[in-house]
Amino acid sequence: MLSVLTFLPLLVCVLLLALPGSLPDRWCTWTWVATAAVDLALVAVLWAGFEPGGGMQAEQRMRWIPGAGVGYHVGVDGLSLPLLALTCLLFLAAAGYSLRGTRATRAYVCLFLFLQTVCLGVFVALDLILFFVFFDLSIVGMYFVIAGWGHGERARAAALKFFLYTFTGSLALLLGFIGLYLAAEPHTFDLVDLARARPLAGRGGYAALVLLALGVGLAVKTPTVPFHTWLPPAHTEAPAAGSAVLAGVLLKMGTYGFLRIAMPLLPGSWRRYALAIAVVGAVSVVYGALVALAQTDFKRMIAYTSVNHMGYIVLAVGAAGTLAGTDVQARSLAVTGAVVQMVSHGLITGALFLLTGVLYRRGRTYAMDAWSGLAAHTPRFAAVTAVAAFAAVGIPGFSGFVAEFQILTGSLASQAVATAVALLGLLLTAALFLRALRTMFLGTPRLPGSVPVGGPGDLDAREAVPTVTLLAVALVIGVAPRFLLDVVEPAGRTVAELVAR
Amino acid sequence: MSALLWLLIALPLGAGAVLGVAGRAAGRAAPAVAVAVAAAVLGLAVAVAVGRPAARAPLFAGMPARMAVDGLSAVLVVTVAAVTLCVLVFAAGECGAGENRGRFFGLMLLFAGAMLVTVTARTLPLLLMAWEAMGATSWALIGHWWRGPRRVRAADTAFLTTRAADLGLYLAAGAALAGGVGSLELDALPRAASPWLEVTVAGVVAAALGKSAQLPFSFWLSRAMEGPSPVSALLHSATMVAAGAYLLLRAHPLLAAVGWAGPLVAWLGAGTALALGLVAVAQRDLKQLLAASTAAQVGFMVLAAGSGGTAAGTAQLVAHAATKSGLFLAAGVWLNTLGTRQLPELTGAARARPLVGAAFAVGALTLAGLPPLSLWAAKDTVLAAARTESTGLYVLGLAAAAVAAVYSVKAIRYVTGAPPQPGPPPGRGPGTGARRGGGGRDGAPEGGGLGVLVPLWVLTGAAAVAGVLALPGPAAWLRGLTGDAAGRPPSVPEWAVSTGVVCAAAGWAWWRAPRPGRARPAPARWAADWLGLERAAHLLLVRPVFGLARALAAFDDRVVDGAVRQTGRCGLAVARLARRLDDGGIDAAVRALAAGARRLGHWARRPQTGLLHQYYAQAAVGFAVLVLIALWVR
């Protein structure tokens, strides 16, 4: 089941490549939409059969490279299931958004299908090398998306920076994995076995070095301050669907790695360095928001808010590693909030990036001060963007609040100062999104010269359906979060307990 | 029974969301639907006030969302629903076809619905959700006419100021959990362990003060005046500002759990009542005067909450809600028909439209606290509660009451005064940018039709008679309702003193004719500018934050990303060095080796001439050398 879910897009990708060259572009895109829809349906089936609190489910284990202790081991639990659903939903949204057409459509579609398999693979992998392969391939896929379909020469530079930076990070990660492998007896890369054996318990310096390698590798991908500077150019130059996937799914691989690998495998070191992790998270929150506040480019601003939003997750996982003065309720609340924040950020920021693509199609610019009073010309676009902005601000009724409330409430007891500082992020994001809305959409109407005669058209169906769907799911989570929390909470509690042992 | 409670909040929120999404498409149906929903909500509110249901739903792990209606909630639910209905009926008559009526009425219902959740919530997460949703809808309502940059800025100011204070509730939630109150039940908050208890109290107090525009947050209320009049009428009476006062009344056991909270709240409330009262006196713009008076009147509620007078604060809240919403509606009629809200230009406005003018006059006399109108009675119970706390508070409250009489009478004097030129009623003044954005003027008949007059007079009537809540019998009932065991009715000397002070102040204000042309002294200008609070916030907070943001952005580009670029450049430099080493060192050595080998080969080829006699000669030489070596070795 899981393998079908994961490799279905890759299969379709191969079939598409094998078909003769005269295939119309529209067929390619519709094939993509259909594949993404089927994958989403498969996740829905998986979700329906999922037993909350039942630990790892739908496991599949096969020999792969037994000599090196590497196996093909996949499974799903409360941490990964929401992310699988998010991935399928975001790729479906990106597919729908891409129906408007692009250059070299078949290659574009194949690349995204490949990326979907890779992203799903990261979230189902239960073997470190399998995880690493998917983790690395995601970088390769995204490199080609940015370089091939981005905004010209600068896109290639940004893609190269993205590739080299995150690839360096993944090498650090590999180093950490090898460190774990060597410490385990018998040598293995299997996550479940490693978590059971805890090979580094009581080995202070060695464990700290392994945690450092893992931490740096995952922090680059997340990204946290100060490893975040690949993110703004990559986002700004990528095509809208690429940005949505990059922000919505690829960033989650970093924070997912913290929850799946670093915390259960290195609980002792995690507890020892929890303060540092929480501080990095709080700094990312405030620093990301402040730098975003100073941006004049709409897409770049949203890119920096990703640093801010992902910072909350790092704060929460840091707080979950601090035992002093807390009970398990607070710590599992923080972990649950972190998982919800991953989903929430994927939905909301994915929608926001698709909306920046809408803006770019209208006027070939992201500069905020080039626009004014856009709501007069494009009321639907303005309304949807305003809703997305308020969702990103964390207004109750949307998923962002459910996530941030749990994170902040659960983290205050253990990391009081860092959490209090991170609270300011709520105010700063409100300020920067309100400023963007005011500058671009409200006030006296004024358009940039690059808008074609006849004015900018409002959202059409192919733009509205993907963005509104993402926001609608965020709304459902915000109003009735139990269907998600029922799945996440047991897993969050498990992680909190694993760290405490 | 709990279904009624769910319906009470689901109806306005659901209908509001539908209308808001429909937007212009809702058109003519929007006002009718909104009024119908508000009427149904009022019916439900009365039903839950009588039936007192409770409801709960799971929310977060160990933290359910719980709602319940107790005495305090019952009073507020009915007040909110009634004021909302009146304001929406008024707005239905006023909001013309040029407006996006679906959005406006939808947001009004959402706003009211959020307030209904706020006053029925029993757990902190649910309260916070409603609290913040109310702030967000207030942004959209204040910025309803979004083409005016000033209005949008005003909406931003209001939202950001209240959200800054709202952070207190997030802090309180975290602190309560840290203090061992895992359920985050409002009633359980006082049981949090110290020092988290103190943090919880501080957070709740900050959030409440921000929402109710108490010092030092008051300035956002001045900016909120940029919104449409029905928004002001709702925001200033039974929602938003009232939410802050409500939270403090609700949190009385929490305030009592730490020694400093009650007095702090009480003094801040009394201080706001006096300072913002003086600000109101200094205004020349009717809506600004009313806005400042709102902050001042809410100050009395906060004073009551800090002094433990829950019943007194509730009475003040209800009386003020009716009074202020009526006043804003009357001001809205004038703004709509005369196009101005400047007091000198409104001179005689009440005479031109006697029914509206009379309603305004009754409302303003109530606001002045003159007997036997409602705020007179309510304020005396507040002052009685303050006096049990401290004499200083009582004196401050008395002074604030006197100031309230002055600003109210000032407003009455203007609008009922003789117009400057005899003859026609005041013309359309030059305006103050207060004109409506769209073509909404056609909806309101000159002087107000029934759709305007009925809600206006209903509210005014309620404002006049709500004082019965402070009479001995009903007051005891209200104390029982709100669980206010310690409250007491004001004594006869207290009645006499406060009534005397208020009447004297009102008389003095009436006797002292307004002299609009005269230059004002510096303190008056300072008060007219709302004590410079907004400028101070800009100077001390907004500008440094933006400066810091720009500095950090430059730091991010130059230093953080610069280090990355430099690393890349270093990598390239090392690569170039390696290339040079490779070309000039290793490869050169390999090449030299090859050249040497070639040269050796070249030499080795030399003897191979193919001439037999030369080979013989070479062999002879070689043999001779071998012989010599053999001899030498031996």
At A127-178, the pLDDT tens digits run: 999 999 999 999 999 999 999 999 888 999 999 999 999 999 999 999 999 9
Taking contacts as CB-CB distances below 8 angstroms, the residues of chain B near A444 are 147, 149
Model confidence at B430, pLDDT cuts 50, 70, 90, reads very low
Ramachandran angles phi, psi of B589, nearest 5°: -65, -45
Cis omega (within 30 of 0) for bond into B190: no
Residues 6+ apart with CB under 8 A from A317: A255, A258, A259, A263, A277, A281, A334, A335, A338
* Residue written as token pair 């290659």: A107
Rounded CA-CA distance B323/B368 in Å is 11
- Asked whether residue A207 carries a pLDDT value surpassing 50, the answer given is yes
Tell me the average pLDDT of chain B: 87
CA–CA min distance B418, chain A (Å): 39
Nearest by CB to B61, which of A225, A332, A430? A332
Taking contacts as CB-CB distances below 8 angstroms, the residues of chain A near B560 are 225-226, 228-229
* Residue written as token pair 């916030």: B537
Quote the DSSP letter at residue B59. E
Q: Do A397 and B129 touch (CB under 8 A)?
A: yes
CA–CA min distance B542, chain A (Å): 10
Tell me the average pLDDT of chain A: 92
Model confidence at B518, pLDDT cuts 50, 70, 90, reads low
Query: Could you tell me if B270 and B382 are in contact, meaning their C-beta atoms sit under 8 angstroms apart?
Result: no
Rounded CA-CA distance B432/B284 in Å is 12
Selected residue with higher pLDDT from B521 and B203: B203
Cβ neighbours of A25 (radius 10 Å): 15
Query: Could you tell me if B101 and B230 are in contact, meaning their C-beta atoms sit under 8 angstroms apart?
Result: no
Q: Residue B15: what pLDDT?
A: 94
Taking contacts as CB-CB distances below 8 angstroms, the residues of chain A near B99 are none
Q: Do B128 and A396 touch (CB under 8 A)?
A: yes
Cβ neighbours of B183 (radius 10 Å): 17
Alpha carbon distances (Å) from B557 to A138, B79, B553, B563: 26, 54, 6, 9
- Asked whether residue B454 carries a pLDDT value surpassing 50, the answer given is yes
Cβ neighbours of B580 (radius 10 Å): 10
Query: Could you tell me if A492 and A410 are in contact, meaning their C-beta atoms sit under 8 angstroms apart?
Result: no
**Range A406-435 average pLDDT:** 93
Taking contacts as CB-CB distances below 8 angstroms, the residues of chain B near A403 are none
**Range B200-225 average pLDDT:** 92
N- to C-terminal Cα separation, chain A = 33
Taking contacts as CB-CB distances below 8 angstroms, the residues of chain B near A413 are 174, 177-178, 196
Q: Do A442 and B146 touch (CB under 8 A)?
A: yes
Model confidence at A328, pLDDT cuts 50, 70, 90, reads confident
Residues in chain A: 501
The token pair that represents A275 in the structure block: 């303060």
Kindly report, residue by residue over B66-107, the tens digit of the pLDDT.
Answer: 999 998 999 999 999 999 999 999 988 877 777 888 899 999
Rounded CA-CA distance A326/A319 in Å is 10
Q: Do B178 and A325 touch (CB under 8 A)?
A: yes
- Asked whether residue A98 carries a pLDDT value surpassing 60, the answer given is yes
For A276-314, the DSSP string reads HHHHHHHHHHHHHHHHHHT--BHHHHHHHHHHHHHHHHH
Q: Residue B515: what pLDDT?
A: 61
Rounded CA-CA distance A256/A221 in Å is 10
Q: What does the longest C-alpha to C-alpha distance in chain B come to?
A: 153
Rounded CA-CA distance A336/A356 in Å is 30
Nearest by CB to A226, which of B62, B550, B560? B560
Kindly report, residue by residue over B353-381, the tens digit of the pLDDT.
Answer: 888 889 999 999 999 888 888 888 888 88
Q: Residue B425: what pLDDT?
A: 45
Amino acid at A468: V
* Residue written as token pair 């969702």: A391
- Asked whether residue B224 carries a pLDDT value surpassing 90, the answer given is no
Nearest by CB to A485, which of B60, B132, B196? B60
Rounded CA-CA distance B143/B428 in Å is 25
DSSP H or E run through A259: none
The token pair that represents B197 in the structure block: 């208890």
Alpha carbon distances (Å) from A357 to A237, B178, B508: 11, 43, 65
Instruction: Give the three-class secondary structure for B258.
Output: coil
Residue A150 sits at the vertex; the CA angle it makes with A145 and A152, to the nearest 5 degrees, is: 135
CA–CA min distance A417, chain B (Å): 11
Model confidence at B478, pLDDT cuts 50, 70, 90, reads confident
Q: Residue B513: what pLDDT?
A: 63
Q: Do A443 and B152 touch (CB under 8 A)?
A: yes
List b or e across B117-143, with b for residues whose CB sees 16 or more CB atoms inside 10 angstroms: bbbbbbbbbbbbbbbbbbbbbbbbbbb
Alpha carbon distances (Å) from A458 to A50, A371, B217, B367: 41, 15, 39, 48
**Range A405-426 average pLDDT:** 93
Nearest by CB to B564, which of A229, A434, A443? A229
Kindly report, residue by residue over B104-136, the tens digit of the pLDDT.
Answer: 999 999 999 999 999 999 999 999 999 999 999
For B84-131, the DSSP string reads HHHHHHHHHHH--TTS-HHHHHHHHHHHHHHHHHHHHB-BHHHHHHHH
Nearest by CB to B143, which of A396, A442, A485? A442
Q: Residue B431: what pLDDT?
A: 38
For A422-449, the DSSP string reads HHHHHHHHHHHHHHHHHHHHSSS-B--T
What percent of chain A has pLDDT above 70? Answer: 100
**Range A403-422 average pLDDT:** 93
Q: Residue B420: what pLDDT?
A: 63
Q: Residue B517: what pLDDT?
A: 59
Judged by a CB distance cut-off of 8 A, whether residue B579 touches chain A is: no
Query: Could you tell me if A498 and A264 are in contact, meaning their C-beta atoms sit under 8 angstroms apart?
Result: yes
Instruction: Give the three-class secondary structure for B560.
Output: helix
Model confidence at A468, pLDDT cuts 50, 70, 90, reads very high
Q: pTM for this one?
A: 0.91
As a dihedral over the C-alpha atoms of residue A448, residue A451, residue A456, residue A460, rounded to 10 degrees, the angle is -120
Kindly report, residue by residue over B549-579, the tens digit of the pLDDT.
Answer: 999 999 999 999 999 999 989 999 999 999 9
- Asked whether residue A267 carries a pLDDT value surpassing 50, the answer given is yes
Q: Residue B437: what pLDDT?
A: 38
Quote the DSSP letter at residue A452. P
Taking contacts as CB-CB distances below 8 angstroms, the residues of chain A near B140 are 386
Taking contacts as CB-CB distances below 8 angstroms, the residues of chain A near B545 are 290, 293, 428, 431
For A356-415, the DSSP string reads HHHHHHHHS--BGGG-B-GGGT-HHHHHHHHHHHHHHHT-TTSHHHHHHHHHHHHHHTTS
Residue A65's DSSP bridge partners are A70
- Asked whether residue B423 carries a pLDDT value surpassing 80, the answer given is no
Alpha carbon distances (Å) from A217 to A2, A165, A167, A262, B487: 26, 10, 9, 11, 63
Q: Bin B404: left if φ > 0, else alpha if -120 < ψ < 50, else beta.
A: alpha
- Asked whether residue B432 carries a pLDDT value surpassing 50, the answer given is no
Query: Could you tell me if B220 and B161 are in contact, meaning their C-beta atoms sit under 8 angstroms apart?
Result: yes
Q: Residue B429: what pLDDT?
A: 39
Kindly report, residue by residue over A362-384, the tens digit of the pLDDT.
Answer: 888 899 999 998 998 999 999 99
Rounded CA-CA distance B227/A357 in Å is 33
CA atoms within 13 A on the CB side of B597: 6
Ramachandran angles phi, psi of B58, nearest 5°: -65, 140
Q: Residue B441: what pLDDT?
A: 38
Query: Could you tell me if A357 and A100 are in contact, meaning their C-beta atoms sit under 8 angstroms apart?
Result: no
Q: Residue B6: what pLDDT?
A: 94
- Best mutation site among B170, B181, B184 for testing chain A: the one with the most A CBs within 10 Å? B170
Taking contacts as CB-CB distances below 8 angstroms, the residues of chain B near A419 are 174
Instruction: Give the three-class secondary structure for A197.
Output: helix
Amino acid at A53: G
Taking contacts as CB-CB distances below 8 angstroms, the residues of chain B near A376 are 147
Kindly report, residue by residue over A223-248, the tens digit of the pLDDT.
Answer: 998 999 999 999 999 999 999 999 99
Judged by a CB distance cut-off of 8 A, whether residue B177 touches chain A is: yes
Nearest by CB to B147, which of A291, A325, A373? A373
Q: Do B170 and A408 touch (CB under 8 A)?
A: yes
